[in-house]
Amino acid sequence: MMKDSDMHNLTLAEIARNLAEKHFSAEELTRTLLARIEQLDPQLNAFISVTDELALAQAKAADARRAAGENGALLGAPIGHKDLFCTQGIRTSCGSKILDNFNAPYDATVVERLAAAGTVTLGKLNMDEFAMGSANESSYYGAVKNPWDLTRVPGGSSGGSAAAIAARLLPAATGTDTGGSIRQPAALTNLTGLKPTYGRVSRWGMVAYASSLDQGGPMARTAEDCALLLSAMAGFDAKDSTSVDQPLDDYLAALSQPLAGLRIGLPKEYFGAGLDPKIADAVMASVEELKKLGATVKEISLPNMQHAIPSYYVIAPAEASSNLSRFDGVRFGYRCENPADLTDLYKRSRAEGFGDEVKRRIMVGTYALSAGYYDAYYLKAQKIRRLIKQDFVAAFEQVDVILGPTTPNLAWKLGEKNADPVSAYLEDIYTITANLAGIPGLSMPAGFIDGLPVGVQLLAPYFQEARLLNVAHQYQQVTDWHMRAPAGF
Amino acid sequence: MALERTEVEKIAHLARLGLSEADLPRTTETLNNILGLIDRMQAVDTTGIEPLAHPLETTQRLRADAVTESNQRDAYQTIAPAVEEGLYLVPRVIE
């Protein structure tokens, strides 16, 4: 029997083999990880809620299903959910005071599908408030620390998911990505994270930030584990009006495809001013590895990349200002004390319930959509959005995947970018374009600089998640960056 | 174009966000910094470019006009701040 001290280092794929061979039960694994969370999470603050009762019930049910002959790859697999996926009867806070008392009345489709596959939910993970942030410092529940250096940010907004997996408190978790919120924290904590094509994963029950950009996806240590999770998460859902009714690829089967002949595009705009030169070196080293596997490389251009951030900071706040109007202190969530009248109830409930960054984005969005400004802001941003999409369409006529750095900088110090929100917005320069265009993107571990992880981003045409997972998996067969664990965890 | 304090107050009102007098200068400055970033868009030539609202440019799917949900009022009201006899309570609106 495997020692408790080893279980937490296993990937989902390894857990599946061990459970199938009865080296341990789902219940034993769950108890081991719950004890580890209790012991280590106070250093990280990755969890908003630990759902131990639910986890043990799900683990026992998984063991019973396995005893009855089932052998699904995720049966008994421990995971966590970013705290914006609704979980029935369990607090779904979105990292906000306004939803601190919100026990969701239903499960999100992603939660329901993963539970049906037999996953065990260990808890709900910390995040930037309403997924607005790149450092996980805007949470009502406090900042999350990066396990690679506890004085640094883990990235955001899925920072709790990232920190928990990197510290081996969990093998995998869900995240969401509106401007880079899966890929950027994955890069800063040495994980593999995938943002699927817009519409590939149901948004039903996933609390909305910017509806035309939001997409849920898997975060784990390996591409193989992301493939396992995506296979269960993705697919058509009639409850989501933007869900795409198109068959899923066999993500696991695609992993083993050889890379011979793969055409990789390196966008010159991704290697310009603003990129840490050491990150550029690490990215180019990953390109050399992929060349050894048979890939060919070509320089390409995405000339409108530089316009993505201004465009995003109109579209996302505009959609957020509309989506977040539902938080009014009337039907659920926080209500202020002793409201004088209805307007006072709305204004004070929202002022007291939302944090500063959320209020800023609501106000930017409200302004951009207000009478007289729509053409100059929202419509202009949507035109730029088309230019960005056209850049990708043209690039994918020449290459199969696009490769570059996930982030321009390594994980920064807690508090370093708090004084100036605009400086933090610029960290999303390489990830935001995929959300605006709706294409899939993946970040994978590609080395370390001064002990901090570097991520490489891969982008592919619509619905080619299988290709991204394939390239990352093949890279992970010849490198071991993704296997490295932070000291102390 | 920089926002003045009165415009920020108007935006806060439209967004139904209470904003204290003390927070107004800092909020105005931060919003102006963000709008400065956004205004870089105006340098982009978008002549003849159609706006893109949906990445896949699909149209809204329609479903049959049939009842699919059951009434779960009681369950939903267990998480409401104040209810009475199935109604949500708010401060008096009509005197």
Query: For the segment A151-205, what is each residue's pLDDT rounded down to a tens digit?
Result: 999 999 999 999 999 999 999 999 999 999 999 999 999 999 999 999 999 999 9
Mean pLDDT of chain A, nearest integer:
97
Does residue A54 lie in a domain region? Answer: yes
Decide if B51 touches A, using CB distance below 8 A. Answer: yes
Return the CATH number at B31. 1.10.20.60
A157 is an active site residue: yes
Beta-carbon separation of B41 and A310 below 8 A: yes
Beta-carbon separation of A376 and B42 below 8 A: yes
Return the CATH number at A64. 3.90.1300.10
A349 is an active site residue: no
What range does the domain containing B34 cover? 5-43
Decide if B64 touches A, using CB distance below 8 A. Answer: no
Does residue B66 lie in a domain region? Answer: no
Q: What's the mean pLDDT in A140-161?
A: 98
Asked if pLDDT for residue A426 goes beyond 60, the answer is yes
Nearest CB partner across the interface for B37, out of A309, A341, A382: A309
Q: What's the mean pLDDT in A297-304?
A: 98
ipTM score assigned to the predicted complex: 0.96
Decide if B54 touches A, using CB distance below 8 A. Answer: yes
Quote the pLDDT of residue A17: 97
Q: What would the two tokens of residue A307 be?
A: 């316009």
Does residue A26 lie in a domain region? Answer: yes
A243 is an active site residue: no
Nearest CB partner across the interface for A383, out of B30, B46, B55: B46
Does residue B85 lie in a domain region? Answer: no
Report how many domains make up chain B. Answer: 1
pLDDT band at A423 (very low <50, low <70, confident <90, very high): confident
Does residue B79 lie in a domain region? Answer: no
Does residue A457 lie in a domain region? Answer: no
pLDDT band at A247 (very low <50, low <70, confident <90, very high): very high
Does residue B39 lie in a domain region? Answer: yes
Q: Chain A residues with CB inside 8 Å of B14's CB?
A: 366, 370
Beta-carbon separation of A366 and B14 below 8 A: yes
Beta-carbon separation of B41 and A244 below 8 A: no
pLDDT band at A4 (very low <50, low <70, confident <90, very high): low
Does residue B71 lie in a domain region? Answer: no
Q: CA dihedral in degrees (A209, A212, A218, A220; nearest 10)? A: -70
Place of tokens 């459970």: A19
Beta-carbon separation of A331 and B56 below 8 A: no
Quote the pLDDT of residue A484: 98
Q: What would the two tokens of residue B89 be?
A: 């309570």
Nearest CB partner across the interface for B46, out of A314, A360, A384: A384
Contact at 8 Å (CB) between A246 and A282? Answer: no
Does residue B31 lie in a domain region? Answer: yes
Q: What's the mean pLDDT in A369-381?
A: 94
Nearest CB partner across the interface for A422, out of B34, B81, B82: B34
Does residue A440 lie in a domain region? Answer: no
Does residue A270 lie in a domain region? Answer: no
Active-site residue identified among A157, A158, A311, A443: A157
Beta-carbon separation of A198 and B16 below 8 A: no
Asked if pLDDT for residue A373 goes beyond 70, the answer is yes
Does residue B38 lie in a domain region? Answer: yes
Report how many domains make up chain A. Answer: 1
Q: What's the mean pLDDT in A64-77?
A: 97
Q: Chain A residues with CB inside 8 Å of B58's CB?
A: 199, 242, 244
Q: What is the pTM of this model?
A: 0.97
